[in-house]
Structure 1
């Protein structure tokens, strides 16, 4: 009998019988896998025991290939036997291809013979790639843990921002959310029927008529996150958490416009296809996560890590340099990152060769390990361990709120059940879920997950293509994206649920810091001390994991923006004028007009110019004001809140500031870590130099 041919047999069975070589270690690995998948649908017997169990079985060369006796009386050998076995288990495509295409059947039999003749080699390779067995990987434990930990991270995110919300977006905060909604409504009224307010601000706050809406959303979101943490109605809890978080993020720019906010929203959205759609997700009855939902989470982790590595080599600073590629980035990173920890100071003192080795390991983690996600079990486990260790090191040397913790939660989905400790396996149990999903719900989730997977992969390819281009201008021959692609990207940006990532595309090599001081009655200047961002040189950098101080972070971005303006005197002068007018007049977004920023000296200049030059001058001024409205409106409103001595804003500080000040002074300093000798001798963590080009006073009287 030739291998893989179908042959009728009088050997009739009620259950398909697969005969294999019981003395072959590689065959035993494969048989154990099939036995686990079969669950009684196919019986497996070593040919050494065949005569005892089935004396009527025909004589065949069982030592040369596996043999499958089907219930219809047909016999299959070699690759055909394997494919037919899997068809009995519900996987039809391979056997259909084997039956219909001769080239596929021939290739399959050649591969089978290659493996059969080199079973010892393939046994070793299998153990390298999979370990001691090739049983099907299950993810019941990691799926259950993922849901609970995601709920905990979401709970932390809500509570962290809630503690700052009054000072940031409350009625007396820096940027009251109601002012933003009122401004959007005026835009809608000026363009009736052309655009929806929901498309500009997708927030449930539209449904509330008073200022309690913000705290109501925080309360609902917190309760939903708590339900997800304890496993009650997990799918409903995810939907509610996502809706509340995006509702707050939509009106809290720029304070909730960070990559970890986008990552949380995307993780919540994709996890809807991973967690069970049941009343309660109990550890003893944890079901196997839906495979497409698991793959979406894996792809999200891949996208997050690989993009973060790719952009380091494709984006360049204005002078064309790239500290990532020349292995000098860590000479700056520890002290130029937004808010270092005190451990960062010690890492900064390490020799430069350690920095270079650390960078190489970083590239391995971001550009190499993500591909291990798609390889067999042992490589996936290595990816899990490596990425978690990488996140722990980032946590130790910086303060990124819940960002790294959320990334670790994504990594947990790489851990299969066999990898967990026996104690945890005992707690999870082996019983199947008692919660019954209707076939309609199951079909609905499959359809929605399929659509989500298509959109996710589509947007990911677009983002990766952009990252690959980096700082390079698009090729002249490149075509504009299609209407469908543009609509998909716009929807992804609106919902913030399919995002691009990549922190520190260009490493900052300086650390400008904004120092704000106030005084009244010509007394001494009283500096505002922030809770976390550097001000005093002797104050050690703090750890505040998993809290995310939004104001302190935004000050870091604003200082970098001011530093960019120093090389353009006109832009800097308009910026200072913008801040001065905004603070002294206490303007909000609905009151701002270009005339507010045209001073008497500008009018005198305009009188001397011709019509075209006047128009050019005004357009140039308008461009700069619009730029500062987009970039620095929050900072101007922050200074105005300091001038008003708003209690909710002062609660965001540590100490400092003057009640009802007459003047506010804004200065810029260049900060850096002290070296080891100076630090130990003086007790200072920081050293600084003033930036002479930027220091101005706002008179409030």
Structure 2
């Protein structure tokens, strides 16, 4: 059927598929390297305990049927292998049905991981990867012309990502309406990047222009995705440029990158490559695409209702397979940055003035002289949750105590999540404590004088000195 296909988007499909495979690779690599300490059999939030209380229909996953650390590692590394194969173009060497099965494999493996990942996998970009990854299954390979319905649904996802983020800002923090949120955002965002200090010190008129441009890109431009070419290409290109700007300003895992990937199918790249006529589209494939499109459009009523609701929520899945979700980010912006500093001592008695040594995390601020690094699109899950814990102890109640216990035990898997431990695994500390500090960026003059990009001030105790003889208690306000 002529209306079913869009010959001009063959190259766009190819670029999209290879880029999506790269995002899959990053996601599976992070899962393989971090799961043992976070959700493994001896992790902070073990999968076996979770699946024992959550039924399959609420969290469908392979790990509901069987869990062991070895099996999880096998699934994660299999996902890496599938992503590498897709990145290398293996789907183009297979028949259409084989290519679809190959794309289905990483989606099924990753939904299994996310559905048992608990707090560590509660981020919007997890659901976004799954929603986009499911659509990629039905995008086809070089045996068929890119189907219009799937291309439309990909634009529909991009619309919800951008428009949802724009609405949550306008409905949320008043500083977005006043164009002043970026006075604070670059300093208080979850994980600053190497250029965030410089972004923070841009003149305030530039920050106001950034905020205004963000509103245009998220509240106006998304509607242009559904207009004829070349307007749709221009709209998608503007979104890509905006996301690259965000990539430079901080570490947001693969959120920015998958949004860029999602914009690619809206680009008309036909002028760069002449594919020639595609083979006839099989009837079974047309039926499958139409059926899936109808299902996803029917499921879309809930995110649409969420968009128009005054009580809009962000980053919510409306079904256990994460097929259709709501998105959004930074509906509110913190004015002050607080950080938890975890310290240990080998002293026999935990004195205030004892020999306390700080653990250093890979991404989150700690040592005031250490400048932030670039980690995105790789996701440092513990570092991100430490940012949430600093906002409120409630975010850390389930896992902070187990983390402290594992530091006191010298658990190697937990220590691998850190940049530096002041104690070797075979000689762990006797006590652990956690203190809350206020962090602020230094000025240009302070940076030149001290070499420190942060200045910090003690706020309060977050966790009293704790030892294994007295099991670690959930953190809370004194």
Fold in common (TM above 0.5):
yes
Return the alpha-carbon distance in structure 2 between the equivalents of residues 664 and 358 of structure 1: 42
Return the alpha-carbon distance in structure 1 between the equivalents of residues 344 and 261 of structure 2: 44
Q: Give the equivalent residue in structure 1 for 2:73.
A: 215
Return the alpha-carbon distance in structure 2 between the equivalents of residues 469 and 700 of structure 1: 44
Displacement of 1:372 in angstroms is 1.0
Q: Give the equivalent residue in structure 2 for 1:409.
A: 261
Return the alpha-carbon distance in structure 2 between the equivalents of residues 137 and 334 of structure 1: 42
Are positions 1:177 and 2:47 aligned together?
A: yes
Q: Give the equivalent residue in structure 2 for 1:399.
A: 251
Residues 515, 666 of structure 1: 8 Å contact kept = yes
Residues 227, 234 of structure 1: 8 Å contact kept = no
Are positions 1:138 and 2:3 aligned together?
A: no
Residues 401, 545 of structure 1: 8 Å contact kept = yes
Return the alpha-carbon distance in structure 2 between the equivalents of residues 360 and 289 of structure 1: 36
Displacement of 1:271 in angstroms is 2.4
Residue 157 (structure 1) aligned to one of 2, 6, 27: 27
Equivalent residues in 2 for 1:354-369, closer than 5 Å: 354-369=206-221
TM-score by length of 1: 0.61
Displacement of 1:431 in angstroms is 4.0
Are positions 1:446 and 2:290 aligned together?
A: yes
**Aligned alpha-carbon RMSD (Å):** 2.3
Displacement of 1:695 in angstroms is 5.7
Displacement of 1:690 in angstroms is 0.6
The secondary structure found in structure 1 opposite 2:339 is strand
Return the alpha-carbon distance in structure 2 between the equivalents of residues 178 and 393 of structure 1: 41
Alpha-carbon spacing, 1:209–1:392, altered in 2? closer, same or farther (3 Å)? closer
Residues 316, 327 of structure 2: 8 Å contact kept = no
Q: Give the equivalent residue in structure 2 for 1:307.
A: 164
Return the alpha-carbon distance in structure 2 between the equivalents of residues 694 and 222 of structure 1: 38
Q: Give the equivalent residue in structure 2 for 1:328.
A: 180
Are positions 1:245 and 2:91 aligned together?
A: no
Residue 638 (structure 1) aligned to one of 385, 389, 403: 403
The secondary structure found in structure 2 opposite 1:221 is helix
TM-score by length of 2: 0.89
Displacement of 1:660 in angstroms is 3.0
Displacement of 1:506 in angstroms is 0.6
Q: Give the equivalent residue in structure 2 for 1:432.
A: 278
Deviates more, 1:540-549 or 1:219-228: 219-228
Residues 41, 68 of structure 2: 8 Å contact kept = no
Residues 315, 470 of structure 1: 8 Å contact kept = no
Return the alpha-carbon distance in structure 1 between the equivalents of residues 317 and 419 of structure 2: 40
- Listed one character per residue, the Cα deviations across residues 192-243 of structure 1 (whole Å, up to 9, x for unaligned) are xxxxx21233110133354322112112322332333224233112222111
Residues 145, 281 of structure 2: 8 Å contact kept = no
Displacement of 1:445 in angstroms is 2.5
Return the alpha-carbon distance in structure 1 between the equivalents of residues 18 and 428 of structure 2: 47
Alpha-carbon spacing, 1:296–1:231, altered in 2? closer, same or farther (3 Å)? farther
Q: Give the equivalent residue in structure 2 for 1:106.
A: none
Structure with more contact order per residue of length (Cα contacts < 8 Å, sep ≥ 6): 2
Structure 2: 5+ residue stretches without partners: 92-97, 349-353, 470-478
Displacement of 1:536 in angstroms is 0.3
Residue 224 (structure 2) aligned to one of 350, 372, 393: 372
| Structure possessing the higher radius of gyration over alpha carbons | 1
The secondary structure found in structure 2 opposite 1:540 is coil
The secondary structure found in structure 1 opposite 2:367 is coil
- Listed one character per residue, the Cα deviations across residues 332-383 of structure 1 (whole Å, up to 9, x for unaligned) are 0101001111211011111111110111111111111111101221221211
Residue 495 (structure 1) aligned to one of 321, 324, 327: 321
- Listed one character per residue, the Cα deviations across residues 416-475 of structure 1 (whole Å, up to 9, x for unaligned) are 133x43xxx15xx32424xx764234223322222222222x123122023x4459xxxx
The secondary structure found in structure 1 opposite 2:177 is coil
Are positions 1:352 and 2:196 aligned together?
A: no
Q: Give the equivalent residue in structure 2 for 1:18.
A: none
Structure 1: 5+ residue stretches without partners: 1-88, 92-135, 185-196, 317-321, 472-488, 563-627
The secondary structure found in structure 2 opposite 1:670 is strand
Return the alpha-carbon distance in structure 2 between the equivalents of residues 490 and 160 of structure 1: 22
Alpha-carbon spacing, 1:387–1:286, altered in 2? closer, same or farther (3 Å)? farther
Residues 131, 325 of structure 2: 8 Å contact kept = yes
Residues 669, 690 of structure 1: 8 Å contact kept = yes
Alpha-carbon spacing, 1:681–1:170, altered in 2? closer, same or farther (3 Å)? same
Return the alpha-carbon distance in structure 2 between the equivalents of residues 401 and 490 of structure 1: 18
Return the alpha-carbon distance in structure 1 between the equivalents of residues 249 and 327 of structure 2: 20
The secondary structure found in structure 2 opposite 1:633 is coil
Displacement of 1:291 in angstroms is 0.7
Q: Give the equivalent residue in structure 1 for 2:60.
A: 202
Displacement of 1:400 in angstroms is 1.2
Return the alpha-carbon distance in structure 2 between the equivalents of residues 325 and 550 of structure 1: 31
Are positions 1:461 and 2:304 aligned together?
A: yes
Displacement of 1:90 in angstroms is 7.8
Alpha-carbon spacing, 1:90–1:507, altered in 2? closer, same or farther (3 Å)? closer
Are positions 1:679 and 2:444 aligned together?
A: no
Are positions 1:265 and 2:155 aligned together?
A: no
Displacement of 1:665 in angstroms is 1.0
